[in-house]
Structure 1
Amino acid sequence: MDRVPGRPRPRAGRLLGALALYSALSLALTWPLAAHFTTHVPGDGIDDPALAWNLWWIKVRLVDQLQPDIFHVVWMFHPVGINLAFYTLTPLNGLLSVPLQTATSLVVTNNLLLLSSFVLAGLGAFLLSLEVLGPLVLPGQADRHGFSRQAATAGALVAGLLYAFASTKLFYASLGQFNIASSQWVPFCVLYVWRLGRKLGQGAPAREIGRSGAMAGLFLVLQAWAELTYASFLLIFLALHLAWVLGMGWRARRRTEDGGPPVQVTLTRLLAGYAAVAGMFLAGIAPFLAAMVPDLLREGDFFASGGGFADIFSADLMGYLVPTRLHPLFGAWTAQLPFPNDKAQHLYLGYSVLLLAGAGLLWLWRKTSGAGRAAALFWGGSGFVFWLLTLGPHLRWAGQDLPVPGPFALVSRLPFFSGNRYPSRYGVMLLLCAAVLVACGIWWLVQGGLQRPGRANPAAPRRLWAVAAGVGLLILLEHLSLPLPLSDFRTPSIYRQLAAIPGDFAVLELPTGWRNGARVMGYGDDVLLMMQQWYQTTHGKRRLGGNTSRNPPHKFQYFTDAPLLGDLIGLMNAHREHLAPVVESQLEAMIQRNRPRAGQILRDLGIRYVLVHMERATPALLRFVDQALPLTLVDQWQGLDWSGKPAAIRLYEVQMPPTEEWAVDLADPAGSIALAEGWSSFVDPGAQGPARRYATRSQPALLFNLPDEGGELTLELFGPATEATVLLNGQPLGPAVLLDPQASTRVTLPIPAGLAREPMDRLTVAFHGPLTPVTALAAAPPDGSGWSIGGTGVSLAPGATVAVRSAGEEVGNFAHIWVNGRDVAQEGRGYHLAALGVDGQVLGTARFDTSCVAELQPGCPPEQSAAMARWLRSWPAGTVIAGAVQDEASLRLDADAVAALAEVGVATDLRGKLRWSHAFIGVVGATPGTALETSSLLRPAGVYVGAAVDGAAVSGGVGRVWFTPPPR
């Protein structure tokens, strides 16, 4: 049927038209993706492999493994596993991908989901803009040509175009940050929040208000499951909306938007709306909370770990004035400007957007109805708040901090909100506010310029669409980001060969690494590490390396402290200038140390195959692989890697020693291969009995590769707990065991066949009763006189205890000084020092960044080395000084500071020792060399006096563990 002239276009027609427009633009503005749709994805190879991996993992977990727990993963970070609730898992995208993965490839699935994020984002902003504009312009405005409705539709289409294809979103796509590009549910949530406000103003029944609130909560949940950070932004938006509703409608009666009778915004209606949002959100976010809260309770709040990026990832004021570095005409010039603009922290709205948004804001403010001015206050005020948040802790111009603080520093201190380390990401909310105002500005532009009040102009609709198309094209030209960078996701065939090998086992890739949002441990090539994660989608085996966003320190430290693995980490990085000579000097010792035990360690870890990326491996690593590891070459692949460079990958099979009786001594450094969470880093030598390692939790865990056919385990257990239960993979192995508080207790437990079914089985020792403070362990030194501090001749009093741990950047990047169960070290790079009395009383603490280079780091504290020397010499003779280095302390360490350290008995001189770990406990006035100290480049350093525990309390201890296979 022909459409009757002047009849408004049906709603379905408008939606289909918007979908068609945004779909076409999504293909055009991501070029050349369409030409490589089956082999490439947008990105730079750093985030895109892991985010595409997400889709694979969700399907594997839910469909192939039939496991509902998508968060707890042992397919990477094997054998300790990782909690993906603290990672950008994008579970909603994964769920949506499941049917697509069954019909097409994972690469195509990823690309389809990315394109859909553009289309849905545009559609959501389009509908939101119509929702805002409709009540303001349609009543009493429509003429027989439906001009006002068409003008509103045109403005909304351009608003959707801006929100969906702004250079910020295209930049996120170019980085392969598909999680941050997944902002498509934000406008739908805002749409229903706005509708909630309208219904409150209209005095709608609580039922209708609650329905709008529930829909807003539903889309808030969808956004949280697509990208959790954006959910926190929407919570701020909800708070702003609530404040606006209270300000506009609580104190006085106000007229509805169509001029109806006055309405009171009552508490009942408010609760009906916002309680529905909160209830839906809490219900939808409950699985996340259930996975997060136990780890936060056990490990402390590590959600904000790795902060301090705000200065790099804040929007610069200059950036708002120039196109991004992806612009085909101006990008090369922008890249040379003096502010960070390489990771989408550069926000550019465009001059046309600023002009139109300003016009829209002015038009809303000048409308005679109260609704227009109220809308101007809300959208203008919200946009201003989010603009301030994008600027970070301080305003910046051309890369330089200005003495003007911003609200980000305050917001980032709030729980949950502290997880966002990138202020510029608040730009998504600024952009949405700008898009709504642009729609208003276009309506004002075309209404005032093409249609006179009371006069019908038949040509106006055609001119309207011409103006809208011109404005839209101008916005797209300002935000153009072509060509979009792509990553080649074609997988080397040797991974398909690995996938064909039956069995559930682990693979060791060399070199490899462990990466989170703050640092990389192991090999420092981000792209290699992430492509290894992508290759797992082909071979499907467990892997030791991995990527996450946030994690407890143990998830990294396990690999550094473990035998063989710690040496491999040093060998992977032997190409680094400061590591090369140390690795070379220790290489032969590493080979001799690991050759007799490497096979057993690989077997214990369930590693059956090793992959070596030849062009990335250092000569030292290759020599170690050939001479220390029991491997047989299976095959070698040669071809081009993801960057188009020649590459070779070797596949080795591990020559497994037979499963037989074995023993692990947790008091031996080699025993750390079995340590999961909850153990002290130190070993008690057992002056009054066998050596043991204490547990700092009630339920510490051990990791063993036990055979499926079962056998017997014998454990040597210690107090101070008086009772313990042993569980294997969550199942008790017997009744509770009574412990002798004065001696070791040996218990033998049968392992039923089929219970040890995991590649790495988790043995939990649940010690009953409350934890015992570490001071109780230090209450009775063997000779009764005190705890001797090295060769200083000074002792800590009974009941006092000090434990110090230090790690350079490559091996942990931490410093801890535990005094009587309390960590008194500060946070940050350099020397951490604590002055103590012999009774363990803390007299003072300080940190000195003796690596701070003022020329490279503005704001660097002056003369840190001299200040450290003065601090050390300010304490009287006999004062105990404990010290630990975090990250690095050598670059600006001077002779005077080294001499001051020597005056407390320290012999180590870190000058010229980049990123060495150094831990010591000395005494003011002691002879140089008499302090208790250790230092290392390839390992963390640690010393203690008193209890052999780096924690506040202990539950019990474990010495040796024996396994006996069943009789044959």
Structure 2
Amino acid sequence: MTPAHTLPGLPLTWLAGSTLTYNLLIAASFILTTLFTALLAQRLGAESLGAFVAGIGVGFCLWRYQHALGQMNMVGTQWIVLALYGLEGFIRWRRAHDALLTGLGVALAAWSSWYYGPTLWLVLALWLALRQPWRETRTMLAAVWPAVLIAPLVALALLAPYAHPTLQTLRGGDTRHDYASLLDLSAHPLDYLTPSRYHALWGGWAAQVAPETAGARLVTPGFALLTLAGVGMWRWRRRAVARTLLIVGLVCFVLSLGPELRIGDWSVPLPALLAYDHVPVLRSIRAWSRMAFYVQICVGLLAALGLTGFGQWRRVWQALGIVAVCGVLLEVAHAAPWSASTAPRPVDRWLANQPGSGATLQVPDSFAGTIEYYALFSRRPSLTGYGTFEPTGATTDLAWLREFPSARALTTVKRLGGEYVLVRRSAMDREWPGWRERAAQQPELTLVYEDGEMTVYRLSLPDETWSIP
């Protein structure tokens, strides 16, 4: 699903194991995104200080921290910036190797995530439309048409092996997500001004002030970066590059708000609604808030332009500029929950030693990829896991499984080949108070294991007896 990580990760995994490989790929994405953004800023006309600020502001932004916490497919942001770097170079100098970089960037971005595949084409087309002097287009095409073809041909050649399964999925039925889910995973305008809940200094305060701003809605670029971007927009307001960054950023900002903007009792339809209803591939997008990263790029590049000529500024303005730069560095000081153990849990070791091969169900939080990971240790299939589009009929089954310990949930577990139900007690106590009493009333459930975190029931006949280890 993510060949941009899988293919280079294969030899690393063989040499050093999956854990080190995972960490190296995540760390590399921060370094490469920062480096490519700084290079793009310089290509647009920024000086070293501005390029440094743009690189740090984009490479270590809150959006990337949030999506680095387990979503490897979303951290391949360096390829987005590489594609823009190549396109800007081709617009300026008509060089074949810049077109090659554009095609490679597009393909590698799509190889990271199908979110980037279709949306990056839109961003590049808008960038080209705003940056290319269209009066010179015919002359340019006649002179360098072989180079013009390089980017799409390279991208299509690399994406072709993955076209067939994608088209198969699209033909398999409606790939649109539930509309309510789209609204939940869309950004709100004020999210762009909400402080980071992961910040080392004010993270706890931010989480209390705006508890609803979490997950996909963590999109704020940072006040200092926004301030410098405003300076860059004003100072470069007569330049086409600034207008390009402003328009691309605004378009992506509107798209990140999802299919509609709700203001009190009012609902304003937005362009994403048109894509949801009528545009193949784009209608499959689940989290429109992810368009915020394109906004982050534009804000960072405008901030870089705002610091041009810094050495010639008056001292008072230089002092304010240094304060803003320090503000950018301070605002990226996130303290996200980075570490997690890769060792098997005690319950996984216990399950691995039990006879039979019945499947497991973990409640209430099993509908995520971590359960698939722990199945490596328990050596048992899981009834749940992560899936973007559930197979026909699975939606109802999953809804019933979430009702554990109801009779309908137990019937569904048995029908699907389940044998053990793992209960994470702390989460279950919060979400379903009284679950223990209801489980005790089910004669088919036998308590067979407990540790400091998990309680395990086995679906059994009423006359079976077990001892708790």
TM-score bracket for this pair, using the shorter chain length: 0.7 to 0.9
Task: Tell me the residue number matched to 1:484.
Answer: 337
Does the residue aligned with 1:415 lie in a helix, a strand or coil?
coil
Is 2:71 the partner of 1:180?
no
Task: Tell me the residue number matched to 2:187.
Answer: 315
1:830-909 paired onto structure 2 within 5 Å:
none
1:281-296 paired onto structure 2 within 5 Å:
281-296=155-170
Does the residue aligned with 1:526 lie in a helix, a strand or coil?
coil
1:584-641 CA-to-partner distances (Å, cap 9, x unmatched) read 9xx9xx79xx9xxx8xx89xx7x8xx44426668626973255xxxxxx9xx76544x
Partners of 1:265 and 1:448 in 2: CA distance = 41
CA contact under 8 A between 2:235 and 2:306: conserved in structure 1? Answer: yes
Is 2:223 the partner of 1:351?
yes
Does the residue aligned with 2:215 lie in a helix, a strand or coil?
coil
Task: Tell me the residue number matched to 1:380.
Answer: 246
Residue among 320, 323, 326 paired with 2:198: 326
Q: Relative to structure 1, is the Cα distance of residues 268 and 237 closer, same or farther in structure 2, using a 3 angstrom cutoff? A: farther
1:506-525 paired onto structure 2 within 5 Å:
507-509=358-360, 511-512=361-362, 523=363, 525=364
Pairwise CA distance, 1:224: 1.0
1:432-487 CA-to-partner distances (Å, cap 9, x unmatched) read 1111111111123344347xxxxxxxxxxxx99x9887544311323433253644
What TM-score do the two structures reach when normalised by structure 1?
A: 0.42
Partners of 1:115 and 1:622 in 2: CA distance = 48
Pairwise CA distance, 1:269: 5.3
Task: Tell me the residue number matched to 1:613.
Answer: 422
Task: Tell me the residue number matched to 1:573.
Answer: 403
Partners of 1:615 and 1:340 in 2: CA distance = 24
2:375 partner letter: Q
Q: Relative to structure 1, is the Cα distance of residues 294 and 391 closer, same or farther in structure 2, using a 3 angstrom cutoff? A: closer
1:129-278 paired onto structure 2 within 5 Å:
129-133=41-45, 152-174=47-69, 176-200=70-94, 208-209=95-96, 211-245=97-131, 248-251=132-135, 253=136, 265-268=139-142, 271-278=145-152
Partners of 2:21 and 2:113 in 1: CA distance = 18
2:444 partner letter: F
Is 2:443 the partner of 1:623?
yes
Q: Which has the higher contact order (CA 8 A, sep 6+)?
A: 2
Is 2:279 the partner of 1:414?
yes
CA contact under 8 A between 1:221 and 1:231: conserved in structure 2? Answer: yes
1:483-532 CA-to-partner distances (Å, cap 9, x unmatched) read 53644443125645766899xx96400x34xxxxxxxxxx5x22575432
Is 2:255 the partner of 1:389?
yes
CA contact under 8 A between 2:187 and 2:289: conserved in structure 1? Answer: yes
Partners of 2:323 and 2:23 in 1: CA distance = 29
CA contact under 8 A between 2:193 and 2:220: conserved in structure 1? Answer: yes
2:403 partner letter: N
Q: When you count strand as a share of all residues, which structure comes out higher?
A: 1
Pairwise CA distance, 1:393: 3.0
CA contact under 8 A between 1:363 and 1:441: conserved in structure 2? Answer: yes
Q: Relative to structure 1, is the Cα distance of residues 274 and 546 closer, same or farther in structure 2, using a 3 angstrom cutoff? A: farther
2:115 partner letter: T
Task: Tell me the residue number matched to 2:28.
Answer: 116
Number of residue-to-residue matches in the alignment: 448
Task: Tell me the residue number matched to 1:86.
Answer: none
Partners of 1:165 and 1:571 in 2: CA distance = 39
Does the residue aligned with 2:293 lie in a helix, a strand or coil?
helix
Residue among 355, 361, 375 paired with 1:536: 375
Pairwise CA distance, 1:409: 2.2
1:573-652 paired onto structure 2 within 5 Å:
573-575=403-405, 580=406, 610-613=419-422, 619=439, 623-625=443-445, 639-640=451-452, 645=453, 647-649=454-456
Does the residue aligned with 1:365 lie in a helix, a strand or coil?
coil
Task: Tell me the residue number matched to 1:444.
Answer: 309
CA contact under 8 A between 1:167 and 1:348: conserved in structure 2? Answer: yes
Q: Relative to structure 1, is the Cα distance of residues 468 and 304 closer, same or farther in structure 2, using a 3 angstrom cutoff? A: same
CA contact under 8 A between 1:324 and 1:341: conserved in structure 2? Answer: no
Partners of 1:572 and 1:424 in 2: CA distance = 27
1:178 partner letter: M
Task: Tell me the residue number matched to 1:435.
Answer: 300
State the percentage of identical aligned residues: 25
2:77 partner letter: S
Partners of 2:369 and 2:155 in 1: CA distance = 32
Partners of 1:233 and 1:269 in 2: CA distance = 29
Partners of 2:157 and 2:107 in 1: CA distance = 9
Task: Tell me the residue number matched to 1:424.
Answer: 289
Unaligned ranges ≥5, structure 2 = 426-435, 462-469
1:547 partner letter: Y
2:93 partner letter: K
1:429 partner letter: Y
Partners of 1:336 and 1:270 in 2: CA distance = 56
Partners of 2:349 and 2:21 in 1: CA distance = 20
CA contact under 8 A between 2:177 and 2:286: conserved in structure 1? Answer: no
Partners of 1:339 and 1:651 in 2: CA distance = 38
CA contact under 8 A between 1:189 and 1:217: conserved in structure 2? Answer: yes
Residue among 184, 187, 207 paired with 1:335: 207
Q: Which has the larger radius of gyration?
A: 1
CA contact under 8 A between 1:183 and 1:223: conserved in structure 2? Answer: yes
Task: Tell me the residue number matched to 1:98.
Answer: 10
Does the residue aligned with 2:359 lie in a helix, a strand or coil?
strand
Higher mean C-alpha deviation, range 116-125 or range 547-556: 547-556
Pairwise CA distance, 1:162: 0.3
1:218 partner letter: L
CA contact under 8 A between 1:122 and 1:163: conserved in structure 2? Answer: yes
2:63 partner letter: T
CA contact under 8 A between 1:249 and 1:265: conserved in structure 2? Answer: no
1:827-875 CA-to-partner distances (Å, cap 9, x unmatched) read xxxxxxxxxxxxxxxxxxxxxxxxxxxxxxxxxxxxxxxxxxxxxxxxx
Partners of 1:365 and 1:571 in 2: CA distance = 57
CA contact under 8 A between 2:224 and 2:325: conserved in structure 1? Answer: no
Partners of 1:197 and 1:155 in 2: CA distance = 22
Q: Relative to structure 1, is the Cα distance of residues 401 and 241 closer, same or farther in structure 2, using a 3 angstrom cutoff? A: farther
Residue among 27, 39, 42 paired with 1:127: 39
Q: Relative to structure 1, is the Cα distance of residues 186 and 384 closer, same or farther in structure 2, using a 3 angstrom cutoff? A: same
1:13-61 CA-to-partner distances (Å, cap 9, x unmatched) read xxxxxxxxxxxxxxxxxxxxxxxxxxxxxxxxxxxxxxxxxxxxxxxxx
1:705-716 paired onto structure 2 within 5 Å:
none
CA contact under 8 A between 1:233 and 1:429: conserved in structure 2? Answer: no
Pairwise CA distance, 1:169: 1.7
Pairwise CA distance, 1:343: 1.3
Partners of 1:650 and 1:583 in 2: CA distance = 16
Pairwise CA distance, 1:430: 0.8
1:613 partner letter: L
CA contact under 8 A between 2:255 and 2:288: conserved in structure 1? Answer: yes
Task: Tell me the residue number matched to 1:687.
Answer: none
Partners of 1:167 and 1:389 in 2: CA distance = 19
CA RMSD of aligned residues (A): 3.9
1:404-430 CA-to-partner distances (Å, cap 9, x unmatched) read 543322344421112222222111111
Q: Relative to structure 1, is the Cα distance of residues 571 and 434 closer, same or farther in structure 2, using a 3 angstrom cutoff? A: closer
